[in-house]
Chains A and B, each alone.
Chain A
Amino acid sequence: MLTAQNLTKEFDGTLALDQVCFEVEDGCVYGLVGSNGSGKSTLLRLISGVYCPDGGKVGIDGISSFNNPSVKSQIAFLGDTPYFLPQSNLKEMAQFYKSTYKNFDTDTYKYLLSVFPLDEKARLSTFSKGMRRQAALILMLSTRPRYLLLDEAFDGLDVVMRKTLSNIIIDSTEKLGMTVIIASHNLREIEDMCDHISLLHKGKLIADGGIEEVSGKIHKIQAVFENVPETEVFRGLDIMKIERNGSIISLVARGEKEKIVAFVENLSPKFLECIDVSLEEAFIYELEVLGYDIKSIEE
């Protein structure tokens, strides 16, 4: 199991991660979403042992990954911009990884090469952005990691390749028990395949849980009143957002759906509707509570 306890990282006096705690069960697909600069990439670099934590601990089965080859050999990390040795081709890069990763599997490499149709003898510098990412994915998956860390995994991939990658990830988790952690600022990309989602904002973990668990906590209510009550009346609820438009009150609140509906019904609305929110909407509301500008997330 991958665990982080009070994980803290600081860059020149700015907290990139602040006391982050989480656990990732083996064999799951873990989504890490958040606003730009929320600390997603930093978290992945800490897990993979690229960075040393300034506080707290992160590692596999309680063993820290920083400067620890036995832990690092179980992790494959693909950053947001793939890097290859200068003037190298895919074949040479495979040789490079084979010489350093004990679990590098040539059969897997060959299989993946058939899935992602790339010329292994062509220079990687001539590849497009998407092809470079495919090449990097082939290499990372060929190391047969226990934990695959992907930063903006689908960036630059076309629709077919996105689907292919999704299938490979799901396949790997099911058949090999591989754990995948995907960091992205685009929730729609990853919500279909993730078992578990965490939301990071300004270095803090603000939501964490299963897909339904996270989105099921937030509810959107629209109610029409003859005598529109003051918004203060709704203080009894854990309100995230409330808007009044004529006789219509729209509110977003955390909590159990039944309790929220019962509370509003007590105010005798002419009409009441409880709308399920999507995961993306749930995160947007969470970020709005924290004062984050929604437009910058939606891009």
Chain B
Amino acid sequence: MTLRVSKNKINPTFGLFKSTVLKNSGIIILLVIAMLIFCPGVFLASLQDRALDPEDFVNQTPEYLDILFGSCGILSVIFVSVANYLSFSYLYKKNSSDVFHALPLTRSGLLLARAGAAFVTVLIPVTVGYISLFVLTAFYPTYVIGSFHQIASAYIMNIICMAFACAFSLIFILCAGSAFDLVLSFAGFNSALLVIGMIINSLADDYLTGYSDIYMTDIMRFISPIVFCGAGATEFAMGEAGKVPYSLISSAGFVTELLAITAVFFIASIILYNHRKTERGGQAYAYKFIYIICSVLAGICGGYLLSRIFIFAADAKDISFISAITFIAGALITSVIYGAVTERGFKKFKSALVYGGFSAVAYIIILAVIFTGAFGFSKRVPEAKDIKNVYVRFQDENVELSAADCAKVLNLHKAVIDRDADDDMEKEVRTPHTYLFIEYKLSNSSSMRRDYFVDINKVDDEMFALYTSSERFGAMYRDIEDFSDGTIDLSVYRYGKAEGGDFDQNRDYIVSAKQLRMLVDTYRAELQKVGKKILTGENTVMQITACLRDQKTFAGRDLDFSITDDFTQTLALIDTFELREDVLGE
């Protein structure tokens, strides 16, 4: 054998990356073709049907970008996770693990090369899709496609979400010891977090004073990385929560957080891989902590499910001996089953029981946190100086006040807490109650929301003070003055008993801003005469809604009033208004 040494000028990490991408080239080509069929193919085919007046364009959502970002975003995140698994499937077999780990690379280099190749495999078709949309926008600027800036922002957001999915899936891939256990842990972990989010939401809704189920999304975001990414990306695209659609600057907070989480996951992956014992390939997990976490989470879900079944069957209370026993039994059974699936038998029966016990402890901690007011959540009232504005809804009335006018809302809020006026809405109540929703927009851009089912008798002074306050009516007058669309639709709903008949009656009137102001004045004057009984909603004969909304954008608000028989002048005034239509209803 005649031999000579020839040193190739290569970087092994880049070399592995390159060869892996080349190996994936067939899949890349297929994905690019699929992408081109979708965008611009399908978009071009439907373009003529979606032609729009250029003047209308500014008011339209970027429909094609919405479709591309929605579908491409979800699919690319799934594909990059699958590609990641395929890239690292060598971990699960001894012979393939030998080959890859004997390569002249560091573990970090190996991870970068393989994860990078998986990422690029999906990135190429995604890039083709967005470039196609760019070209479409250039050639058809008047169609509902999206601006260049929006497309570029969506593309960057798509890449960030892919990077997040890549880093997040890596944690599970590196912790698993086989493909089956990877699927089991990934699906189990993420679905269990969703279920636990719902459990916490349900418990807090029932037992945490002031808790609003609007917080469910926040809970899900807090405990589930996938929901955090998905909800944030949706807000970015839809412009929800006051954000400008497809603006990275407007979503800078979310982008920063997502990048930080991605970086943490990626660093964690590198650490995990550098300490991963490759000889564990073939076992259920290379790292036991992931099994313990999944087992505990599954135990909580299983325990809760079994306790709910028994609570329903035995008509027991949520917090009772039956619910406790069945929860513990459910948690133990679930953990033992999960352990049996993981260990392919009952070899670690005792450990599984211990993890079931952890589930019970975790559930008790959740309950304890909720019952003790969730670290001051139930007692918290913001300082007036921290409030930007406040929105209150009670007795079918929506009140939006500025910081300067929020004192009466704070008084009411404090009174509800101090006098323990919040009741369980499923409990049978004998005194008059009303729903009270308060949302503070705080100066640090966050929101604080509280939901109560208030015993009116306990806080009637504060509630009536707010109901009759100059701040409330001042906000109404401002809205009426600001309304510039000419006539106002006034919807009047008469309850059947007031008419002495069997049917409720709905009438729509057309009024001017001046007439509406007159109506508010009359109503306000009579309100003092009627007194606190207006709060209970008893003897209400009529519900009035004045629609102060833009006809196109539907922006604005409604003014709502409850009317009793005592509002004689108000009732008489309404009869003088021009009737728009008369619809009989049930």
Interface residues of chain A, those whose CB is within 8 Å of chain B, are: 11, 42, 45, 48-52, 67-70, 72-73, 75-77, 79-83, 85, 88, 92, 95-96, 98-108, 111, 144, 168, 171-172, 175-176
Cβ–Cβ contact A50 & B97, under 8 A? yes
- In the bound complex, what is the Cα–Cα distance between A85 and B95 (angstroms)? 11
Contact B19 A168 (CB under 8 A): no
Query: Are B4 and A105 closer than 8 Å at their CB atoms?
Result: yes
B-side contacts of A105, CB under 8 Å: 3-6
| Interface locus among B102-110, B123-131, B202-210, B229-237 | B102-110
Contact A51 B106 (CB under 8 A): no
- Picked from B1, B5, B22, the residue with its CB within 8 Å of the CB of A111 is B1
B544 to chain A, nearest CB (A): 72
User: How far does the alpha carbon of A99 sit from the alpha carbon of B101 in the complex, in Å?
Assistant: 15
The residue in chain B whose Cβ has the minimal distance to the Cβ of A99 is B15
Interface flag for B2 (CB, 8 Å): yes
- CB <8 Å contact, B1 and A171: yes
Q: How far is the CA of A48 from the CA of B278 in the complex (A)?
A: 13
Query: A75 and B95: CB pair below 8 A?
Result: no
Instruction: Fill in one digit per residue for B31-74: 1 if any A CB lies within 8 Å of its CB, else 0.
Output: 00000000000000000000000000000000000000000000
Give the shortest distance, in Å, between A44 (CB) and chain B (any CB).
9
Q: How close is B245's CB to chain A, nearest CB, in angstroms?
A: 43
**Complex A-B: 15 CB contacts under 8 Å:** A50-B98, A50-B101, A72-B105, A96-B23, A98-B8, A99-B12, A99-B19, A100-B15, A101-B103, A102-B9, A105-B4, A107-B3, A108-B1, A168-B1, A175-B1
**B93: interface (CB < 8 Å):** yes
A residues near B101, Cβ cutoff 8 Å: 49-50
Asked if B279 contacts A69 (CB within 8 A), the reply is: no
Question: Chain A contacts of B106 at CB under 8 A?
Answer: 67-69
A52→B277 contact, CB < 8 A: yes
Within B4-30, the residues touching A (CB, 8 Å) are 4-10, 12, 15-16, 18-19, 22-23
**Chain B residue with Cβ nearest A80:** B95
* Chain A residue contacts of B457, Cβ below 8 A: none
Closest to B107 in A: A67
Give bound CA distance, A79 to B90, whole Å. Answer: 14
Number of residues from B at the complex interface, CB < 8 A: 37
Q: Encode B315-345 as 1/0 by CB contact (under 8 A) with A.
A: 0000000000000000000000000000000
Q: Pick the residue among B4, B12, B90, B277 that contacts A101 (CB under 8 A).
A: B12
B274 sits at the interface (CB 8 A): yes
The answer to whether A67 touches B274 (Cβ under 8 A) is: yes
- Given A51-B278, A105-B6: A100 and B98 interface contact (C-beta under 8 Å): no
New A-B contacts (13) at CB < 8 Å, excluding given A51-B279, A83-B93? A50-B97, A67-B107, A96-B19, A98-B10, A99-B10, A100-B104, A102-B10, A105-B3, A105-B5, A105-B6, A107-B4, A144-B3, A172-B3
List B contacts of A101 (CB < 8 A). 8, 12, 103-104
* Interface of B, helix, strand, loop or mixed by DSSP: helix
CA distance A82 to B101 in the complex (A): 14
Judge whether A85 and B23 touch: CB under 8 Å: yes
B99 within 8 A of A: yes
Contact between A79 and B98, CB atoms less than 8 A apart = yes
B250 within 8 A of partner (CB): no
In the assembled complex, which residues on chain A have CB atoms less than 8 Å from the CB atom of B217? none
In the bound complex, how far is the Cα of B18 from the Cα of A48, in angstroms? 24
Question: Does residue B96 face the partner (Cβ distance < 8 Å to A)?
Answer: yes
Chain A proximity of B457: nearest CB distance (Å): 67
Residue in A closest to B16 when the chains form the complex, CB atoms: A100
Q: Is there contact, CB below 8 Å, between A45 and B98?
A: yes
Which B79-135 residues sit within 8 Å CB-CB of chain A?
A: 90, 93-99, 101-107, 109
Beta-carbon contact of A103 and B7 below 8 Å: yes
Shortest CB distance B342–A (Å): 15
- Complex alpha-carbon distance, A50 and B12, angstroms: 16
A128 to chain B, nearest CB (A): 17
Q: How far is the CA of A76 from the CA of B1 in the complex (A)?
A: 18
Contacts of A106 in B (CB 8 A): 6
Tell me if A69 and B3 are in contact (CB < 8 A). no
* Bound CA–CA A49/B99 (angstroms): 11
- Report the bound CA distance from A75 to B22 in whole Å: 25
Determine if A104 and B3 form an interchain contact, defined as CB atoms under 8 angstroms apart.
no
Return chain B residues, CB-CB under 8 Å to A52: 277
How far apart are A174's CB and chain B's nearest CB, in angstroms?
Answer: 10
Q: Which residues of A contact B6 (CB under 8 A)?
A: 103, 105-107
